[in-house]
């Protein structure tokens, strides 16, 4: 379809016995800023390589703008910043960026690209004299050297310190704001949370979550209720806690005699709190907090690990 930027249709890719991408179905739409998350080895880089036509799938099809990835790249519709590959050494930053602008079928003005990447002040520096973080920004400049419709970034902030990283995300956001679709793989979950309007979670080559970060958090049971129960207020009743509506996980610790600290992960914090009082409990120091994307991510990948190992145990028992 004409409105699809990219589409994976039942795509699988193995390296020998390692299945890096496993039946991936995914469509990217114009203007989205999409974060690709996943633990080490989840298949993020492999998926990006497939998207860019750098590898061929074993099964399924990958399309960019309704055609073969290589055709879209040849037409200058895609810019990429990958983890591997060195930069030309004996040139100045401006010369390297100019070269990228010149060879791009839809090349932009050099000054504009340097400014957008936040490296104007590095323009006369030799490329081999740059720090790791500065080098990353030059790579980003190369990815935006043309008027691309899609920008693909594989862990772009690796090696950047916190302030450079923040400035980098602003540069990336600015590209999205002019209507470009941005797909980036990252390990910085809180930043994905604030920048991406769609978050994909890959795990063992499979897409296990796809939605806004609010939806991902909701899927993980995104809220936590924390309070104390004091023996002085009434006898402790574990079953009353377990029976509360929406409980996904319950953790009770008793570090001080007569006082228990209760942490509940819940799919419905409002009903949970109302249920506490309805059960005649007297929670002290009650707090309801949201889970960060990082905790949500750990929860859903952990749950998937547990599901995979029980599936494995069942298979093995057959």
Ligand X SMILES: Nc1ncnc2c1ncn2[C@@H]1O[C@H](COP(=O)(O)OP(=O)(O)OP(=O)(O)O)[C@@H](O)[C@H]1O
Q: Does 40 bind ligand X (CB under 6 A)?
A: yes
How many chain residues bind ligand X (CB under 6 A)? 11
Is the Cβ of residue 113 or residue 202 nearer to ligand X in the bound state? 202
In sequence order, which ranges of 117-223 are alpha helices (DSSP H)? 132-143, 162-177, 189-195, 213-219
How far apart are CB 139 and ligand X at their closest, in Å? 16
How far apart are CB 204 and ligand X at their closest, in Å? 9
Give the residues across from 37 on adjacent strands: 201
Is the Cβ of residue 208 or residue 281 nearer to ligand X in the bound state? 208
111-144 burial, b if ≥16 CB within 10 A, otherwise e?
eebbebbbbeebbeeebeebeebbbbbbbbbbbb
Q: How far apart are CA 311 and CA 137, in angstroms?
A: 44
Q: Does 43 bind ligand X (CB under 6 A)?
A: yes
Decide if 260 contacts 228 (C-beta within 8 A). yes
- Radius of gyration over every alpha carbon of the chain, rounded to an integer in angstroms: 24
Q: Does 41 bind ligand X (CB under 6 A)?
A: yes
Q: Does 301 bind ligand X (CB under 6 A)?
A: no
* Tokens 């399924």 -> residue: 60
Is the Cβ of residue 20 or residue 26 nearer to ligand X in the bound state? 20
Sign of the torsion formed by the C-alpha atoms of 305, 308, 309 and 310: positive
How far apart are CB 49 and ligand X at their closest, in Å? 8
How far apart are CB 75 and ligand X at their closest, in Å? 26
Is the Cβ of residue 41 or residue 133 nearer to ligand X in the bound state? 41
Q: Does 42 bind ligand X (CB under 6 A)?
A: yes
Is the Cβ of residue 45 or residue 301 nearer to ligand X in the bound state? 45
Binders of ligand X among residues 45 to 84 (CB under 6 A) are 45-46
Considering only 44, 77, 94, 104, the residue that binds ligand X (CB under 6 A) is 44
Q: How far apart are CA 203 and CA 100, in angstroms?
A: 35
Is the Cβ of residue 15 or residue 312 nearer to ligand X in the bound state? 15
How far apart are CB 246 and ligand X at their closest, in Å? 32
How far apart are CB 18 and ligand X at their closest, in Å? 5
Rounded to 5 degrees, φ, ψ at 224 are: -125, 135
Give the residues across from 13 on adjacent strands: 21
Binding site for ligand X (CB under 6 A): 15, 18, 20, 38, 40-46
């Amino acid at each position: 379809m004409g409105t699809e930027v990219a589409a994976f249709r039942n795509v699988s890719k193995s390296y020998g016995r390692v299945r890096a991408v496993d039946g991936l179905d995914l469509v990217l739409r114009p203007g989205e800023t999409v974060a690709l998350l996943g633990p080490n080895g989840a298949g993020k880089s492999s998926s990006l390589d497939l998207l860019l036509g750098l590898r061929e799938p074993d099964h399924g099809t990958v399309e960019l703008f309704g055609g073969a990835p290589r055709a879209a790249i040849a037409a200058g519709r895609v810019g990429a910043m990958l983890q591997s590959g060195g930069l030309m050494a004996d040139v100045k930053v401006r010369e390297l960026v100019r070269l990228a602008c010149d060879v791009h079928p839809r090349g932009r003005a050099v000054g504009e690209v340097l400014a957008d990447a936040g490296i104007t002040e590095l323009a006369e520096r030799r490329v081999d004299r740059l720090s790791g973080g500065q080098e990353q920004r030059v790579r980003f400049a190369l990815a935006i050297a043309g008027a691309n419709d899609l920008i693909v970034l594989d862990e772009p902030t690796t090696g950047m310190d916190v302030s450079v990283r923040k400035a980098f995300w602003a540069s990336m956001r600015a590209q999205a704001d002019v209507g470009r679709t941005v797909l980036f793989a990252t390990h910085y979950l809180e930043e994905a949370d604030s920048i991406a309007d769609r978050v994909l979670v890959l795990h063992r080559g499979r897409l296990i979550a796809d939605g806004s970060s609010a939806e991902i958090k909701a899927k993980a049971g995104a809220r936590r209720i924390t309070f104390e129960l004091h023996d002085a207020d009434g006898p402790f009743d574990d079953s009353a806690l377990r029976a509360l509506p929406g409980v996904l996980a319950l953790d009770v610790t008793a570090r001080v005699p007569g006082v228990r600290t209760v942490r509940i992960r819940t799919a419905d914090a409002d009903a949970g709190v109302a249920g506490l009082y309805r059960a005649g409990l007297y929670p002290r120091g009650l707090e309801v907090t949201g889970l960060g994307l990082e905790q949500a991510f750990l929860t859903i990948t952990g749950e998937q690990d547990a599901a995979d190992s029980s599936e494995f145990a069942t298979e093995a028992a057959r």
